[in-house]
């Protein structure tokens, strides 16, 4: 049975990106999440849906956003 919610670390591993990038996306409203008793959590199904939307309709926009975030974080 799949767990209902994932942590930032689990999502960063799943997406093969740094946790800092996830936190940056949170601050900019770029990724769907829940805040449960002060902890950030994600639903895998919503992450998958978000990825699908990004790849199908906004791939260039997403790539530009990722580059901007990485530049902000000096990655």
**Is the confidence at residue 74, as pLDDT, over 80?**
no
- Cβ pair 24, 73 in contact under 8 A: yes
Assign 27 a pLDDT band (cuts: 50, 70, 90). confident
Whether the CB-CB separation of 46 and 6 falls below 8 Å is answered with no
Contact 42, 34 (CB under 8 A): yes
**pLDDT reported for residue 51:** 86
Q: What is the mean pLDDT of residues 48-69?
A: 71
pTM, 2 dp: 0.69
């Amino acid at each position: 049975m799949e767990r209902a919610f994932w942590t930032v670390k689990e999502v960063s591993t799943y997406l093969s990106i740094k946790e800092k990038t996830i936190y940056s996306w949170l601050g900019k409203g770029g990724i769907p999440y829940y805040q449960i008793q002060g902890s950030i959590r994600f639903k895998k199904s919503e992450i998958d849906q978000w990825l699908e939307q990004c790849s199908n309709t906004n791939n260039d926009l997403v790539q530009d956003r990722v580059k901007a975030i990485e530049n902000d974080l000096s990655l």
